[in-house]
């Protein structure tokens, strides 16, 4: 899928995007209260600590909510329709905005189990997308 926008990393998000390049979904985990958080941020929203570690997530979760985009007049995005924008609730707790892939939009349901896959965009960036998960893997 050709995408009109490629994410730009900043100081807070660079470890996340570097992990994606290695096919690793990383989350920040607070070093004080051990809460996971996403999107990346310099301060823990739970205890305000600025100490954290980057830890690999399972890559598994479930569809928390979603919308099917069937029409877009924005240049570049118009060629992608229809596509599914979904909020994924990861097993670790944080929710992540992404796209579902390899699934018909009509087949998507709230609570559908999903797993991350990584889509290479331009040789320097991989995007974490989610596909339907079957079985207990």
Pick 39 or 82: Cβ nearer Zn ion:
39
Tell me how many degrees the CA angle 2-10-65 measures, rounded to the nearest 5. Answer: 55
Stretch that binds Zn ion, among 13-21, 35-43, 95-103, 124-132 (CB under 5 A): 35-43
- Residue 33 as a binder of Zn ion (CB under 5 A): the answer is yes
Distance CA 67, CA 120 (A): 23
Size of residue set near Zn ion by CB under 5 A? 8
Pick 36 or 118: Cβ nearer Zn ion:
36
Which of 44, 84, 86, 88 lies at the binding interface for Zn ion (CB under 5 A)? 44
What are the DSSP calls for 74-120, one per residue? STTGGGT-SEEEEEEEETTS-EEEEEE-SS-GGG--TT-EEEEEEEE
Which of 22, 43, 46, 107 lies at the binding interface for Zn ion (CB under 5 A)? 46
What are the DSSP calls for 4-22, one per residue? S------TTTHHHHHHHHT
In terms of C-beta density within 10 A (0-12 exposed, 13-18 middle, 19 or more buried), how is residue 86 classed? buried
Site for Zn ion in 62-101 (CB under 5 A): none
- Residue 43 as a binder of Zn ion (CB under 5 A): the answer is no
Pick 40 or 128: Cβ nearer Zn ion:
40
- Residue 49 as a binder of Zn ion (CB under 5 A): the answer is yes
Token readout for 66 is 């979603």
State the residues that interact with Zn ion by CB under 5 A.
Answer: 30, 32-33, 35, 44, 46-47, 49
């Amino acid at each position: 899928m050709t995408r009109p926008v490629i994410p730009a990393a900043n100081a807070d998000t660079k470890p996340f995007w570097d992990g994606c390049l290695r096919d690793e979904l990383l989350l920040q985990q607070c070093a004080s209260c051990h809460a996971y958080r996403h999107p990346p941020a310099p301060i823990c929203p739970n205890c305000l600590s600025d100490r954290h570690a980057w830890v690999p997530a399972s890559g598994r979760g479930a569809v928390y909510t979603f919308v099917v985009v069937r029409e877009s007049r924005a240049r570049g995005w118009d060629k992608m329709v229809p596509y599914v924008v979904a909020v994924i609730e990861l097993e670790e707790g944080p929710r992540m905005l992404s796209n579902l892939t390899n699934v018909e939009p009509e087949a998507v349901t709230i609570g559908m189990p999903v797993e991350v896959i990584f889509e290479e965009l331009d040789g320097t960036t991989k995007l974490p997308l989610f596909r339907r998960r079957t079985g207990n893997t």
